[in-house]
Amino acid sequence: MTESAAHTPLVILGSARSDGNTQQCLTKVLAEIPHTVVDLRDYSVATYDYLHEYPAEDQFLHLTDLMLSHPVIVFATPVYWYSMSGRMKNFFDRLTDLVEEPHKKLGRRMAGKHVFMLATGYDEEWAEGFEVPFRRTAEYFDMHYEGSFYHSSEQPFPTEAARQFAQRINQYCQSPQ
């Protein structure tokens, strides 16, 4: 999918490998839904800096533009040490730039978007609190946190849960409000 496919979900993939379990799970879940994947491995996103001094090659604002052009955002991450991946957490830290000047206006434009989360792990369930940063961050930006999907590599693929999750994502792409 190209980056310009608006009115499709934007998936932000935070795995340490581009063709790993999370990507494969994502492909299964969204098989019937046109979508755009941003693989964070392909982008330069510096760690958060209080002074907002970032290297010229930093692409966080480009990724912000992409988020702003899609009604639905799906954060896809493996569980690494009971939490989101470090790459995804780095991206979340950078969201701080959108609540500070000079980019506060961009942050306000995140309001109303629909946010989903997909995770893969080894354990049967994710650890307590795993979902909290996704839900609370969405709420902080006045986005709507719409739910999550988890697949353990040790369990059969939950086909029905995947179908329902995809259907819910699709619903917000058809009628974003």
Ligand X SMILES: Cc1cc2nc3c(=O)[nH]c(=O)nc-3n(C[C@H](O)[C@H](O)[C@H](O)COP(=O)(O)O)c2cc1C
Does position 22 bind ligand X by CB under 6 A? yes
Nearest-angstrom CA–CA distance, 165 and 147? 8
Among 1, 6, 7, 16, binds ligand X (CB under 6 A): 16
Binding mask 118-147 vs ligand X (x if CB under 6 A, - otherwise)? --xxxx------------------------
DSSP strand E in 68-159: where? 72-78, 114-121, 144-152
Nearer to ligand X, 64 or 120 (CB): 120
Among 82, 155, 159, 161, binds ligand X (CB under 6 A): 82
Q: What angle do CA 29, 107, 150 make, to 5 degrees?
A: 20
Structure token pair of residue 135: 């839900």
CB of 78 to ligand X, least distance (A): 3
Count residues binding ligand X (CB under 6 A): 16
Nearer to ligand X, 79 or 110 (CB): 79
Does position 92 bind ligand X by CB under 6 A? no
Nearest-angstrom CA–CA distance, 84 and 35? 22
Does position 78 bind ligand X by CB under 6 A? yes
Q: Which residue number places its CB atom closest to ligand X?
A: 20
Which residues are at the interface with ligand X (CB under 6 A)? Answer: 15-17, 20-22, 78-82, 120-123, 153
